[in-house]
Amino acid sequence: MAEKISDDFNYVGKPVRKVDSLSLARGEARFTDDYDIQNEVYGVFLYSDIPHGRIREIDTAEALSIDGVIDIFHHGNTPNTLYTSAGQGYPEPSPYDTRLFDSVVRFVGDRVALVVAESEEVAREAAGKIKVNYEELPAVFDYERAEEPDSPRIHADGEFPKIPVAYLPEKNIAAKIDIGFGNIDEGFKEADFIVENTYRMQYASHCATEPHVARAYYDDRGRLTIVTATQVPFHARRIVSMVLGIPISSIRVIKPRIGGGFGGKQEVILEPYVALITVRTGRASRIKLSRKEVFVSSRTRHPMRVRLKTGVKKSGEITALEMDALMNNGAYGSHALTVLSNAGSKVLPLFNKIPSIRFRGETVYTNLPVGGAYRGYGATQGYFAFNQQIDIITRKLGLDIIEYCKKWHIREGETSKIFEALGEGKEGVSQVIKSCKLDECIDRGAAEIGWYEKRGKRRKLDNGWVTGVGMAIGMQGSGIPLIDMGSASIKMNEDGSFNLFIGATDLGTGSDTILAQIAAEVLQVPVDKMIVLSSDTDLTPFDVGAYASSTTYVSGSAVKKCAEKIRKDILEVASQMLGEEVSGLKVKEGTVVSGKTGESVSYSDICTYSLYQGGQHQIQAEASSVMPESPPPFIAQFAEVAVDVETGKVKPLRFVSAVDCGQAINPVLAEGQVEGAVVNGISYALTEEYRFDKKGRMVNPSFGNYKIFTAPDIPEIKTILVESYEETGPFGAKSVGEIAINGPAPAIANAIYDAVGVRLFETPFTPERVFKALKSREE
């Protein structure tokens, strides 16, 4: 039921200031490393400097003799429980293939030992004094060869999947998918021609400005408290409990302000170790990764090879589509199944009229850094292939790609068999699209970039560079249906303010603010009447955490439900006070007004009455939400680039995104999500890459050598929020956190082709790669 259109909202749809902006702007807000914790000890990891080997012996004697060293942990003196560091719902779809410390090291950067000392310097010094004797094992770095019989096997020590899914470590396969419908062979036969291409995307680092950091201490009640930069406080608590065998009831996890996540902190990397230190030493503990450690030893975007085969009729109709994905998970299988699955599940429903589809995928282990969740989550890799393939097909047929996309994309009232076939480690959930404004996105974006004036014109700039434009479209999801759960509780105070407690995790995205806006809209009070407290496992109810574009839609629905219960209670108390039926009352600007007499009572009086006078009780409520579907936001993105044919340099000139995210709860924050994702996506498309030497060692683990876009690099960026209303979402909202990162790479690739006629099947589009493509075209 569409209860309102946006103009009628008072607090939703407004560019309300972030609830934490004052303290952040003053520099007062505390991040994990900013807490004053007394008597703390420091943990520093020793990492493997070989890509694959078995530890014969660890000699810690000299290191332990250094003044200030307290203890050294390694595989010989810590629990060897298998788990996954992926912060996902339980039971996790990622394989249990990780131990705190293992007797086998699997990549350069794998954890060998943890030194605990009175200071960070002493711990670092001691880490350098530990002698490790390895039996070196052969390594495999090329993920396209990981399954070959002569490639070494990376996991052969009891690793297992927690849920019944294909897991074949004897082939280096961490996950496998094979689904389809229709008759793929017939489909290809019916086609007039086949387009088949292979696309590749590379490793990348999230580059949150705040490096991973966690701290632990015993509070005055003797409870183990972990303060951590995490996207998943409740998963962190569960995993720490399981790995260390400590009851959940003894652990409290607090997420303070956090300096960006982007998926990199959806991973329980440090929490078990700080907990271990505190449990073993009784002292408060801290581990903070250096930037180099973040690059090498935290998590990355999974590299992926996507082969797309499409059978196409002269009319443009696609008769069959086969997607074949191969994903590199590095040494451990974090998110092995689900990122792979999303390359298909977030992409293939978009052209839902294709009668026959097959999606095959495998995730393999290699002796390289570990993949994990990264904004876009497989859809980025899938859309890179899909959007170029569509550009190729329409060019071949001389069709207008704008009209073509508008003709074939999924529409309101339609469904796709993929929704049902592909879920998170099990079958998905079927759904009918209730809101899709992709046509408007495409039209408005095209107008904004000046598509028809620019496409195919190969305008020359004064410096000789040639320009072109390209497009990409896409969809994502809003949470994981029937899996992700968010909850909220609210209590009322006698000055008419409310405490809003949410498990949801604000990574800087502004979710504390938009959840407060949702509650404020229900209760008709200014947002500053909502006192938000989030992400503290002792104080706030459960939430899966910030991932899968779920917070606005899933947690937002819980907040809305909860606020509606409060509103009901408020109206009942007011009805006693005013002597009037509830049905004649309504809430307005922090008061309850009688429809009959116009008489009103303030929230403050209502709460005071309920606490001290009549029908005494605390006005409070809680609610949880699990959503039966995951309505996709839609986007159309357009790049204009200039290419220097002499050097292969590519400069993005303009980038336009038009997005249907349902009702934007806070348009400024929604735009901010799109803009941040776009620049990250452009930077990934053009410059970001991990370079390895022959031993699998990353040779550029610093911002100086791993180039990410900064202010002077960015093109002119324009974001259009297309008006839309999702009836299943809180006040019409869907999601917006991830979707915009998927379009930059294909839109830029398509624009490069438009400019200079070369096709780039592999990111990043470095000058060398573009130059090579230009050269080979000449030959």
Partner 1 sequence: MKADFIINGRRESLEFDSRATLLEVLRNSGHREVKSGCENGECGVCTVLLDGIPVNSCMVLAASVIGREVTTIRGLTEDDDTGLSPVQEAFAEAGGIQCGFCTPAKVLVTYSLLSRNPQPSDEDIMNALDGNICRCTGYVKILDSVKLAAEKLKASGKESRKERGK
Among partner 1, ligand FES, none, the one that 708 touches (CB under a kind-dependent 5 to 8 A) is: partner 1
Sheet of strand 591-594, all strands in order from the earlier edge strand to the far edge: 585-588, 591-594, 600-602
Report which residue's Cβ sits closest to ligand FES: 209
Buried b / exposed e over 728-740, threshold 16 CB at 10 Å, is: bbbbbbbbbbbbb
Among ligand FES, partner 1, none, the one that 195 touches (CB under a kind-dependent 5 to 8 A) is: none
User: How far is the C-alpha of 311 from the C-alpha of 639, rounded, in Å?
Assistant: 27
Binding residues among 703-722 for partner 1 as defined by CB under 8 A? 703-704, 708, 710-712, 714, 717, 719
Closest CA to 18 of 734, 514, 546, 673: 514
> Are 296 and 47 within 8 A, CB to CB?
yes
CB of 709 to partner 1, least distance (A): 8
DSSP calls for 193-248: EEEEEEEEE--B----SSPPEEEEEE-TTS-EEEEE--S-HHHHHHHHHHHHT--G
Region near partner 1 per CB under 8 A, out of 68-76, 99-107, 255-263, 524-532: 255-263
Contact status: 355 vs ligand FES (CB under 6 A): no
Contact status: 34 vs partner 1 (CB under 8 A): yes
Contact status: 260 vs ligand FES (CB under 6 A): yes
H or E stretch at 592: strand 591-594
Task: Tally Cβ neighbours within 10 Å of residue 238.
Answer: 21
Among 7, 27, 164, 778, binds partner 1 (CB under 8 A): 27
Binding residues among 283-342 for partner 1 as defined by CB under 8 A? 290-291
Among 128, 403, 702, 777, binds partner 1 (CB under 8 A): 702
Q: Does residue 51 have a cis peptide bond before it, meaning omega lies within 30 degrees of 0?
A: no
Cα-only R_g, the chain: 27
CB of 211 to ligand FES, least distance (A): 9
Contact status: 699 vs partner 1 (CB under 8 A): no
Strand residue runs (E) in 298-456 = 304-312, 318-328, 356-364
H or E stretch at 773: helix 767-778
Closest CA to 71 of 112, 113, 131: 113
Half-sphere exposure of 631 (CA within 13 A, CB side): 30
Among 38, 39, 209, 583, binds ligand FES (CB under 6 A): 209
Among 521, 671, 738, 754, binds partner 1 (CB under 8 A): 671
How many chain residues interact with partner 1 (CB under 8 A)? 54
Task: Tally Cβ neighbours within 10 Å of residue 702.
Answer: 10
What are the distances in angstroms from CA 170 to CA 51, 360, 407, 686, 769?
A: 19, 19, 45, 36, 35
Among 161, 311, 349, 508, binds ligand FES (CB under 6 A): 508
Contact status: 463 vs ligand FES (CB under 6 A): no
Among partner 1, ligand FES, none, the one that 714 touches (CB under a kind-dependent 5 to 8 A) is: partner 1
CB of 31 to partner 1, least distance (A): 7
At residue 235, φ and ψ (nearest 5 deg) are -65, -35
Among ligand FES, partner 1, none, the one that 247 touches (CB under a kind-dependent 5 to 8 A) is: none
Interaction pattern, residues 202-231, with partner 1; x per rule: CB under 8 A: ----xxxxxx--------------------
Q: Which is nearer to ligand FES, 1 or 711 (CB)?
A: 711
Among ligand FES, partner 1, none, the one that 675 touches (CB under a kind-dependent 5 to 8 A) is: partner 1
Q: Does residue 149 have a cis peptide bond before it, meaning omega lies within 30 degrees of 0?
A: no
Among ligand FES, partner 1, none, the one that 28 touches (CB under a kind-dependent 5 to 8 A) is: partner 1
Contact status: 262 vs partner 1 (CB under 8 A): yes
User: How far is the C-alpha of 637 from the C-alpha of 655, rounded, in Å?
Assistant: 7
Contact status: 445 vs partner 1 (CB under 8 A): no
Among partner 1, ligand FES, none, the one that 597 touches (CB under a kind-dependent 5 to 8 A) is: none
For 419, the 3-state DSSP assignment is: helix
Contact status: 258 vs partner 1 (CB under 8 A): yes
Q: Which is nearer to partner 1, 29 or 82 (CB)?
A: 29
What does the binding site for ligand FES look like in residue numbers (CB under 6 A)?
209, 260, 508
What does the binding site for partner 1 look like in residue numbers (CB under 8 A)?
15, 17-18, 20-22, 24-31, 33-34, 36, 206-211, 257-260, 262, 290-291, 507-510, 668-669, 671-672, 675-680, 702-704, 708, 710-712, 714, 717, 719
